[in-house]
Structure 1
């Protein structure tokens, strides 16, 4: 069995020059979180491993950024350090990998999470051949996630009005969470103590926004196969941001204090690349199969707002109380630091469970081309 002793996160800064975190390095964000874990729990850290999810593994995030972060954080030489890329679910995948190391007896404690500084390494900066490779079958060629979201909204009958309502709710919940215990594990970094990407609109201002991604459709027209009704605006897409999240995972007796939660089950799945973001649902359903639990058992849920269509389909197709879901706001309001997001969501889930004094919590994340991850935790205390 694997336990979460603590999980912390940074606020999310704007992922561009002039953003509140943009003067920092990704390894400095991680070292800030390592220091926070030490101080919050009054412990020394000698983990067997540091595992980080990062999508843009070039430039400031190249050179095995987990290893660089190990050195920056002054972790022991004996700590193994490796970086993984599972697209936008990377941060949660890293924590699942840590849980596996604990459960299999490979380690007594592991630090795991993710970091992404889009101010330093912009989206698709790795310039992978896959992004433009036409030798793949059409169904598995890379499709910009925003266009996949537009096509999915049209295919599944999600209206522009539904997207607007969910974006506004995310903004309002994010604003309402400030100054509350829902943010107990968010650590101020570089003077940033709030979600820098947040802009709270109105029904009228959101309705006035134009669809944002039609301009990219021409390049991907062969993959799309037809003209599509572009519905997502900038309010329906999570902003590019800087941020990090880190969890301390261990055995039952790894430290001399009570863990915050135990990991009941976690899964990684692949899905239909033509529907891109829907692997999240496959991951969620699989983790329920493994755990023997159901959506009804969950007291709090962090469901990644990869694009507004994702959360719209979740709320439309599953019998779930809105009062349980993303109660501190979501990605549409706060931003999406790619490889860090899954770890940030897990940290948020623990805070929301604490406030609710709930037992079970679910975190679900999705990425491009059919990647999905999910985890169920049980709160202790």
Structure 2
């Protein structure tokens, strides 16, 4: 793949509660703010053929074809084709990947793509899908909440509580430090008075060690789906990404001056719904193979902290320098606005590469029930 990224911007993440820093905004309004920011930074967001937007909770404030609603809010020309997609936590990166595929195929010249989620307006599982409680699937194919799946995976992978605490502490410390490092937040756009990540919280190793596991009661409602499996619950609320509001948006195209980066490879993957959070690893390996690169070739990596078990597994099992991974903190500190996550991480990656004067970087996202995606980029300036 040889598709250019002209810019990628993101909002700060606001707490998903009525008094959260973005809660008075609208989902389409967040996207419109970011499109305007792309224009103010030197690229015309109206000169596109397509807007592709990821969003998980497509009801209420995010219903009515959120891609179409955002297109109208952004003031894009009538000719622009809008797309809305839901690929769970991979949605934002899937939107960019699918738009990039259309560019690479010559179907379009330029696109805006990204994701949005306002969990203060549309809470987790608010769509009340029948599948969440369906019993007409074999137990291994039934829905298991991602928090419960995270505990299952931690037991299966022999990732202990101390490892979970370590990655949580690192995420919080790096997120706090990033606020004082302008280069790492250069593409984060202040909105509605919110000019910093709202979810990070001060903590200590001692405080983390005292926190109780949080998701045993949730597991009790899914006994049949768990097939009698015994779970040693390990994840606390500090090991789970806070629910937040946020959006990310990228401008991509085939040619033009002033591009920030080039997409070298993109891959998606499915996985075992019971293991749930492992498909990102498969997507990562596919993307690396397509780019003919190894992890050691990468200057910066944004690996989604989809519960502490995923980043702990990555750091333990993969040959990677920890100082190149999630250098400005991750989801455990800053939060997870589901459909926006992949787009936010791409913007974060480009800032991290700029700050390090690096060249190659990768985003990896992974989500519930076996979805994952990965993208490798080459920084151009």
Aligned to 1:58: 59
Q: TM-score, normalised by structure 2?
A: 0.98
Aligned to 2:306: 306
How far apart, CA to CA, are the structure 2 residues paired with 1:215 and 1:196?
Answer: 28
C-alpha displacement of 1:46 = 2.1
1:226 aligned onto 2:255: no
How do 1:85-100 and structure 2 match up within 5 A? 85-100=86-101
1:282 aligned onto 2:285: no
1:101 aligned onto 2:102: yes
1:217 aligned onto 2:219: yes
Aligned to 2:379: 379
CA distance change for structure 1 residues 43 and 136 in 2, over 3 Å: closer, same or farther?
same
Aligned to 1:344: 344
How do 1:311-326 and structure 2 match up within 5 A? 311-326=311-326
Aligned to 2:358: 358
Aligned to 1:23: 24
1:249 aligned onto 2:252: yes
Aligned to 1:369: 369
C-alpha displacement of 1:27 = 0.3
How far apart, CA to CA, are the structure 2 residues paired with 1:168 and 1:210?
Answer: 16
How far apart, CA to CA, are the structure 2 residues paired with 1:149 and 1:43?
Answer: 42
CA distance change for structure 1 residues 101 and 24 in 2, over 3 Å: closer, same or farther?
same
**Structure 2: unaligned runs, 5 residues or longer:** none
CA RMSD of aligned residues (A): 0.8
How far apart, CA to CA, are the structure 2 residues paired with 1:244 and 1:94?
Answer: 13
How do 1:154-233 and structure 2 match up within 5 A? 154-180=155-181, 181-224=183-226, 225-233=228-236
C-alpha displacement of 1:269 = 0.7
How far apart, CA to CA, are the structure 2 residues paired with 1:222 and 1:109?
Answer: 48
Deviations 1:20-40, CA, capped at 9 Å, x for gaps? 101111000000000000001
How far apart, CA to CA, are the structure 2 residues paired with 1:173 and 1:133?
Answer: 41
How far apart, CA to CA, are the structure 2 residues paired with 1:42 and 1:9?
Answer: 15
How far apart, CA to CA, are the structure 2 residues paired with 1:42 and 1:374?
Answer: 26
Aligned to 2:83: 82
SS for the counterpart of 1:277 is: coil
How do 1:124-139 and structure 2 match up within 5 A? 124-139=125-140
SS for the counterpart of 1:82 is: strand
SS for the counterpart of 2:116 is: strand
Deviations 1:204-261, CA, capped at 9 Å, x for gaps? 11111111101111111122222211000000000000000000001123xxx32000
How far apart, CA to CA, are the structure 2 residues paired with 1:289 and 1:98?
Answer: 21
C-alpha displacement of 1:44 = 5.4
Aligned to 1:32: 33
Q: TM-score, normalised by structure 1?
A: 0.98
After TM superposition, where is structure 1 displaced by more than 6 Å over at least 4 residues in a row? Answer: none
SS for the counterpart of 1:276 is: coil
**Structure 1: unaligned runs, 5 residues or longer:** none
Please say if residues 47 and 111 of structure 1, whose CA atoms lie closer than 8 Å, have aligned partners that are also in contact.
yes
How far apart, CA to CA, are the structure 2 residues paired with 1:226 and 1:200?
Answer: 35
C-alpha displacement of 1:116 = 0.1
